[in-house]
Structure formats: structure tokens, C-alpha cells
Amino acid sequence: MTEALDLHRFELADISLPRSLALAVHAQLGKIAPPVPVDNIARALDIAEIRTDIFDGFEGMLLTDQCRSQGAILASTRHGQRRARFTIAHELGHFLMEQHVLSAEDGFRCRAQDMRETREGRRHQKQESQANEFAIGLLAPFRMVDLFLSKDPDLRDGQRLREGLDVSLEACVRRMIDRRQEPLAAVWSKNGQVRYSTRNGGFPFVHLEPGDRLPQISAAFRAVGNNSQGFTAFTEIHAAAWINRTDIDLFEQTRVGADGHAVTLLWADAPEPDETD
């Protein structure tokens, strides 16, 4: 039987920012080894029941009342246990952020697309984005992420993060990009078509949209076409393949997975400014 955690929810009551909230939970936890025990954390913070199963129609559900006196979380395992762990953390975020308005009379119902939402616009999208931000901050705090990062960017670090933190590869690659100082972007694809992309603040805009084909001149296109499962080496590529810039040296690395899924890491190296300028 796992030991109950000594967490105090009243110390989190006035924290509305998801990153700050995740940090405050970890401040109470102290120094723990990964992976983060999300089930035990939720139970220590007044989640009375957690159920994981293959549910239809939703990815996660939080059952609670307006006062948030107690809650119950349902998390679908349709996309695996790691996804379910993220869903539990996501629903816990809704529970703890008391400014979130319930999406139903008895709580929150979150779909798969809500778990991928990153843009903050309408209230629902903003709440889902904040719950995601809390979840990744809880499951992958930077001090734990740093344990798995190599000297230079490498998609293999994402895989090491996945195994060490027990979080999905997609979430780990995104977290790696957020953490590193180098200008990085990642493009997720299936069967050679872009699903979506993300980048950190130093990387230029990626001009490809969901549904676009991978650039034919890219190493990613060749790796996916050959179904070369595993990791490619970093390859220098013409920047115009991915971005609307020609003054940048661009390098790419791809991991080809099963069922046509792939992720491509892009690393930009801007030229040094002329000292005479």
C-alpha cells in the first residue's frame, strides 16, 4: 500500500496561474524521484476516487460541485496509460483552479482535442489550455526534465523523458523544446502529412499547416517514405523547406514510429550579426 502524501490544499487556494500552481504542489512534495505519483497527489488534494478504463465519448471527466468540496476523476486508457496519467493531472488542474467554470452541472468533460489545445481564446479553450499547462508542469517539472537532457538537442532525449517521467512522447518533446535555449521546433506527422507543429520563442514560424505534405526535399520525407523506424541523424536542410527564411542554417532529425507516425525536430542556427553593423 502506498504511503499517503501530506499535502495541504488550502495553501493552493489563491493561486490562479497554472505554472505557479504546479510549482506550489511540488514545493509541498519536496524533492521526489520521477515519475511523479499523480494518483497519490490527487487523492491527497481531495479527489476521492480515480477510475481508469476505456471510456467512450470523452478522454477525461471531473465530477465535482461548484464548491469543489471533493471530486472524482475518470480517465480513459484508450490511448494508453501514459495518456491517462496526463488526463488525471489535467482534471486535477480543473479541480484546483477554482476560477474554472464547470462545463456541466456535475463537473468537466474533456475530449481528446481538448488535451491538445494550446491556444487561449474562448473561455473553454482557455480553461483547457490552463489545465494542460498545469498537467505538464506537475508531471514534468524542469528540474526532472534536466536529468534527461543531453548537451545538444536530440529526439532521443524525448524518449528518455518518456521512460523516466512516464509521460507520452509528444508531451515530452514539447517539454524538451520549452526547456532548451536553442531555437527549436517539432513537427508531428502521420503517413507523411503534417498533424501539427510547435516551437519555442527563438524559432521562426513554421509555414506548414495540418494536412500539408512533408517537404519533399526534407530528410523527414525520405525517412517516412522508407518507413525507417527509429531515429535519423541530424541533417542540414535548406531552410525554405520548413520556414520562410533563407538566412538561417537549419538542421532536422526525425523519429519514425509505428503506424505512420513521426516527429521531426528542427534546430535553427541564425548567423552571427556582423560586428560592423
Which residue, chain included where needed, has cell 531515429?
231
DSSP strands (E only) in the chain: 47-53, 60-64, 71-76, 107-110, 184-190, 193-199, 230-231, 235-237, 249-256, 261-269
Decide if pLDDT at 1 tops 60: no
Decide if pLDDT at 73 tops 50: yes
Over residues 85-107, mean pLDDT: 85
- Beta-carbon count within 10 A of 1 CB: 3
Decide if pLDDT at 3 tops 70: no
User: What ranges do the domains of the chain cover?
Assistant: 9-139, 143-269
Classify domain 9-139 by CATH architecture: Orthogonal Bundle (1.10)
Q: What pLDDT score does 101 carry?
A: 80
pLDDT tens per residue, range 165-213? 999 999 999 999 999 999 999 999 999 999 999 999 999 999 999 999 9
Q: What pLDDT score does 67 carry?
A: 82
Bigger pLDDT: 69 vs 155: 155
Which distant-in-sequence residues (6+ apart) come within 8 Å of 246 by Cβ?
239, 240
Rounded Cα gap, residues 106 and 103, in angstroms? 8
Instruction: Place 277 in a pLDDT band, splitting at 50, 70 and 90.
Output: very low
Domain 143-269 has CATH 3.30.460.10: no
For the chain, what is the mean pLDDT? Answer: 90
Q: What pLDDT score does 4 carry?
A: 79
Bigger pLDDT: 258 vs 27: 27
The share of the chain scoring above pLDDT 90, in percent, equals: 78
